[in-house]
Amino acid sequence: MTNLFVPGVSVVEKVIRPLVVYGFLVLALRAGGRRELAQLNSFDLVVLLTISNTVQNAIIGNDNSLLGGLIGAATLVLVNAAVVRYLYRHPDLERKLEGGPVWLVRDGRVIAENLRRELITEEELMAAIRRQGLSSVEECDQVILETSGTITVVPRRPTPVEAVLARLDRLEALLARQTAGQGPA
């Protein structure tokens, strides 16, 4: 029973260890780029899974007690809740830490420099576009890499002038068919 409820290290150490690991991981994942957050490939997934195993001992130390694990987990949850609330109340600081959205496509044209900077391949971009039901970059008005790491695809919509021209083309084609069917009078 003592292994369950008697931590192998002090409670203060059980709180400090997760705090330090939390801070380190937030900074490391931010430095790794947004793709680590949502646009995972198999290599990214392997890294995230092995990070959790790697930092486990750093969080719990020489302690395998149930209470020690609960203290560490509670510390992580409480610190994260506090950070999220703080950043919610300080949106300017959150913008500085998280950065802003990055446009990958504008007006149906790929912004190659932004793809390179964010380490997103054209294949990954096309996969995100296809997931939104579009088949080509030209069909996109905008494709945006959000601060959360998700990719938002905004399809092109015809401008009012383009819509009127398309209607005129349809009317012209309809009139041409009707005129061709009637022949000369």
Is a pLDDT exceeding 70 seen at residue 2? no
141, 145, 165, 136: which is closest to 155 by C-alpha?
A: 141
Using a pLDDT cut of 70, give the percent of the chain over it: 91
Mean pLDDT of 70-87: 92
Listed by start position, the domains of the chain span: 2-98, 102-155
The whole-number pLDDT of residue 147 equals 85
Mean pLDDT of 141-147: 93
* Confidence tier at 94 by pLDDT (50, 70, 90): confident
Mean pLDDT of 88-106: 91
- Residue recorded with tokens 């029973």: 1
Distance CA 110, CA 125 (A): 9
102-155 is a CATH 3.30.240.20 domain: yes
Mean pLDDT of 21-37: 77
The whole-number pLDDT of residue 81 equals 93
The whole-number pLDDT of residue 106 equals 96
Is a pLDDT exceeding 90 seen at residue 161? no
pTM: 0.64
List alpha helices for the chain, DSSP H. Answer: 2-5, 11-32, 42-60, 66-89, 91-98, 112-118, 122-131, 160-182
- Residue recorded with tokens 């560490």: 72
